[in-house]
Structure 1
Amino acid sequence: MLSLALSYPLSMASSIKVAPAPWKLKGRSWIFLVSALSSTSSFPAGWSSAYQADALSSGGEFIGGLGLIQIVSYAESPVGPYDELIYVPGRWKYSDGTKAFRITQIYVSTEESTLNGRKNWNIPKQIANFDIKTGSDGTTDISVTQPNASSPFFKASIKSIPILSSISVPSNTSILGSYYKLMQPPLPAGENPEDVATHQWASLIPTLSGSTTFRKLVPGLDGKVGDGAGFPAIVPWSFGFGMENVTLGFGIPTAYDTV
């Protein structure tokens, strides 16, 4: 692979704030694993937006393995507070032997996060409306809806687990080393000003650190978390992780012309 610095035009056709990498963000996060896909499995419906599917399935060899769903509510970021929903189907293998995860479906609540996530790291972000509410019993209800839609395409409740959720453990993904690596392909432009195209591959290892507790996920759409269109109609492992006061780091990526 040829390692380069990512470069983009300085002029933008919109007034959306541009915030180059690196980023440091703070908030709270929930992570739930998804049962492994095999290397010959078809991706579930809703694994990617239609206009980005060709790009996000290209390059490298899908080798499957565990996937994940992550929800993040950022209180601080270089572009202000925002919410985020992520689907990762598994890992890919590349010509030099590198193995890395790939985000294929991701929604955020602001256009600033969308533009910069795409521009900085090839993260295929799209806008959605988030409703995240935490009740007095510790249950967090999450609903995500397409703009101008009335029904959510993602819905779930995250609940406390007796005794286990009272145990808080310091955690840091840096102990996973390169296992947590992302490799994201170049993206096509979408219909909105924030849906910018990119032209090189981008690789980075995000970092998460914070206080982790165990949580239970209850799907909210006929026993699934997604509707099979905007998000995969899958059932993640019910036992997952909640991170409070989490700090996330998205550094300057390594860029590649080809993989």
Structure 2
Amino acid sequence: MNDANNIKVAPAPWSINGSKAYLFIHGSRPIQESFNENPDPIRSPFSGGMGGMLLVRYTDSPVGPYDELLFIPGYYQFRDANYYRISQIYVSSIDSVVNGRRNWNVPKKLARFCWTDNDTCVKIFLPESDEPFCTIRVRPRLYCIPVSSALIPSSFRTFLQIPLEEQNDKNMYLKITPSCSGWFRPLVELIEFHTNGKEIPSHEKLSMYTYGVGYEAFTLIFPIAEQVLY
């Protein structure tokens, strides 16, 4: 992890290579609202829908390799449309934290990831903590097939991120539509999901479906954000 006073500047767009990504879905969970860094209930209220948890290992990016855990509660209304929003996200690189917040209004926070068992088990810690706030264990199933996100409608992969605390213009929202290509694994089993209920929602209140999907040896494109004024 780099010193906060020596951050690498890495403007969008980003092309990122990854080795593993696991996505698990949950039903609408408004409990996540209480964990949002900067909730926006008047301009962009939570409107329900399916949410998800994404766990990723990036092997190469404009700021180097890093790990990531993020949560998407579901849809948020903005004017007369609904968009997904990344409400919580932890990464293992301070460069990723600063640039992610600056480029896309993604509320990244720093964490430490300890992987075992061929990247199928991870314990995630706050930087100065000896106790993990989240433990995840997965079991990949079936075989991978080459798939591009171009097959997925853009509405299912478009995010509208709200202004963060450090931004001066509180009326400037950022819209992003990432794309991905690589080896898609159609079935991943969630063996363990445990949280302390403090940093992220409790596993008892954020029950995940047992089976999800994965990506391996993939490339993710995170484009320049579109500015949307309230």
Q: Fold conserved (TM > 0.5)? A: yes
Distance 1:45 1:155, change over 3 A: farther
Identity of aligned residues (%): 31
Q: 2:164 aligns with which of 187, 196, 200?
A: 187
Letter in 2 for 1:243: Y
Paired residues for 1:16-35 under 5 Å: 16-27=7-18, 28-35=20-27
Q: Residues of 2 paired with 1:220 and 1:204: CA distance?
A: 29
Paired residues for 1:236-251 under 5 Å: 236-251=208-223
Paired residues for 1:45-56 under 5 Å: 47-48=35-36, 52-55=37-40
Gaps of at least 5 residues in structure 2 are none
The aligned residue for residue 4 of structure 1 is none
Q: 1:145 aligns with which of 125, 145, 148?
A: 125
For residue 196 of structure 2, give the secondary structure of its aligned residue in structure 1: coil
Q: 2:31 aligns with which of 43, 58, 63?
A: 43
* 2:38/2:164 contact within 8 Å kept: no
* 1:45/1:231 contact within 8 Å kept: no
Q: Residues of 1 paired with 2:128 and 2:66: CA distance?
A: 19
Shift of the alpha carbon at 1:47? 3.1
Equivalent pairs counted in the alignment come to 219
Shift of the alpha carbon at 1:179? 2.2
Q: Residues of 2 paired with 1:83 and 1:46: CA distance?
A: 24
Letter in 2 for 1:19: A
Residue deviations 1:16-75, cap 9 Å, x none? 0110000000102111111224xxxx4247633xxx2335x5522321110000011100
* 1:133/1:141 contact within 8 Å kept: yes
* 2:33/2:39 contact within 8 Å kept: no
Q: Residues of 1 paired with 2:179 and 2:212: CA distance?
A: 18
The aligned residue for residue 49 of structure 2 is 65
For residue 174 of structure 1, give the secondary structure of its aligned residue in structure 2: helix
Distance 1:46 1:62, change over 3 A: closer
Task: Note if 1:216 corresponds to 2:170.
Answer: no
Distance 1:217 1:16, change over 3 A: same
Shift of the alpha carbon at 1:169? 2.3
For residue 114 of structure 1, give the secondary structure of its aligned residue in structure 2: helix
Letter in 1 for 2:127: P
Distance 1:149 1:63, change over 3 A: same
* 1:169/1:212 contact within 8 Å kept: yes
Larger Rg: 1
* 1:44/1:228 contact within 8 Å kept: no
* 1:202/1:256 contact within 8 Å kept: yes
Distance 1:46 1:84, change over 3 A: farther
* 2:21/2:56 contact within 8 Å kept: yes
Q: 1:101 aligns with which of 59, 84, 87?
A: 84
The aligned residue for residue 9 of structure 1 is none
Q: Residues of 1 paired with 2:14 and 2:97: CA distance?
A: 14
| Structure 1 residue ranges (4+ consecutive) displaced by more than 6 angstroms after TM superposition | none
RMSD (CA atoms):
1.9
The aligned residue for residue 173 of structure 1 is 149
